[in-house]
Chain A
Amino acid sequence: MAIFTPRANLFMNAALIGAVLLGACLLLAIRVVPVIGYNTQERFAPEQPIPFSHKHHVSGLGLDCRYCHTKVETSSSAGMPSTAICMTCHSQVWRNAAMLAPDRQSLAENIPLRWNRVYTLPDYVFFDHSIHIAKGVGCTECHGPIGDMDLTWKARTLYMSWCLSCHRDPAPHLRPRDQVTTPDWRRTPSTPSGEALMADYHVHTENLSDCGVCHR
């Protein structure tokens, strides 16, 4: 009696192909799936009660980020504008626009608008906007070309590896403090180097990637 039946070749081939496929699937699941946009929600713009355009307000009108996000320099949260801030202009400009009806309703009923989060961090991360502003990290470093976004989309993965890439080597991401909110800022020959800014702002990398910096 033969050790191998006539179908042994078939089983062997199937096993080999199966092993290769399994490896490919594992590789896909571990390496590729986590970084595709569907998972990271990069470039994804959640639906909002009002289709607010940063492009119009920032690049078009030249409003400073801090006109609406009033607490970004002093608080962990950048702060969403109150209805009163929208209505400062929109009580006079575009005051009958259907698009702004939720705004007027919010003002009349004294109930804040409920915007949908674009950037969500896990609860075990303690992010603070104010310290990043104070150390010269520009808004666009994390929020991408926010001044040119029609609808606000998520510009970064917010993966820990991405946070650490800057915490380990902040120099290329720093700019002079007075340029932090400039949406189209570019480094020019007269801009102080990242290393000079690091020294200026007392940014020390030796403990910037400690766990306790972001986790408690």
Chain B
Amino acid sequence: MKRRSAIALVGLTLALAACDNMANQARRNPYELPYGSQENWPVMPLATAVARDEPLKPPSPPPVTMALLERGRQRFDINCSPCHGRLGEGDGMIVQRGFPRPPSYNIDRLRNVPSQHFYDVITHGYGIMYSYADRVEPTDRWAVAAYIRALQASASASLADVPPDKQKALQ
């Protein structure tokens, strides 16, 4: 009897020692390797796979509201301003560090293109500019396009364009 419990004690102790830390469970975290193996990494999606929640067709341009422009400014400052500059002059910090200079938004060609052009450039890239389709959501692309229009309008605006009650702040 005594011997059997001794064997059981040793066995159970060994079994307990095999327990891993509770911190490591069979749960997959983002970027974590497949459980227990380093092979077959990365797991590539099937060629026919579609991202979840991906819209079936590109969204149509939303009505331009102040909220859309605010959103556009935020996304523009994050994703575009490093090269295009916060005013769209094409003199962002990365350009100052040697990246080829993009055209200013205020040239005639870009003033006259439809807004769809900006949407398409964000989606597919242009020249040496990479596609931003993986970083800027389709609805945000319209917001950025609207904000670029606002930048263009402000570049050639005069004091008379400002509502009278706001003129004082600029003088």
Contact = CB atoms under 8 A, between A and B. Distances in A.
Contacts of A93: 94, 97-99
A98 B169 CA distance: 51
Given A89-B99, A124-B23, A124-B25, A61 B134 contact: no
Given A92-B98, A122-B22, A123-B25, 9 more contacts: A61-B82, A61-B97, A84-B131, A89-B82, A91-B128, A92-B99, A92-B100, A92-B128, A93-B99
B81 to A, nearest CB: 9
A122 B94 contact: no
How many chain A residues sit at the interface, stated as a range, is: 20 to 34
Nearest to B93: A61
Contacts of A178: 74
A93 B83 CA distance: 12
Nearest to B28: A123
29 contacts: A61-B94, A62-B82, A64-B78, A66-B78, A67-B78, A67-B82, A70-B134, A70-B135, A77-B29, A77-B30, A77-B31, A80-B31, A84-B130, A84-B131, A85-B135, A87-B130, A89-B94, A92-B99, A92-B128, A93-B94, A93-B98, A114-B41, A122-B21, A122-B22, A122-B23, A122-B24, A123-B23, A123-B27, A124-B25
Contacts, number: 60
Interface string B52-83: 00000000000000000000001001110010
Contacts of B77: 64
A67 B29 contact: no
A114 to B, nearest CB: 8
Interface in A67-87: 67, 70, 76-77, 79-80, 82, 84-85, 87
B42 interface: yes
A140 to B, nearest CB: 17
Given A67-B79, A84-B134, A123-B27, A62 B22 contact: no
A92 B82 CA distance: 14
Interface of A: 61-64, 66-67, 70, 76-77, 79-80, 82, 84-85, 87-89, 91-93, 111-112, 114, 122-124, 178
Interface string B89-133: 000011001111000000000000000000000000000111100
Given A87-B130, A123-B25, A111 B42 contact: yes
Chain B interface, >50% SS class: loop
B93 A62 contact: yes
A49 to B, nearest CB: 13
Interface centre among A70, A112, A123 (most CB of B within 10 A): A123
Contacts of B31: 77, 80
Contact of B29 (A61, A82, A84, A123): A123
In the A-B complex, the 8 residue pairs with the smallest Cβ-Cβ separation, listed nearest first, are A122-B23, A77-B30, A123-B25, A64-B78, A88-B130, A123-B27, A70-B135, A66-B78
A91 B94 contact: no
A123 B42 contact: no
Interface centre among B24, B42, B93, B135 (most CB of A within 10 A): B135
A5 to B, nearest CB: 36
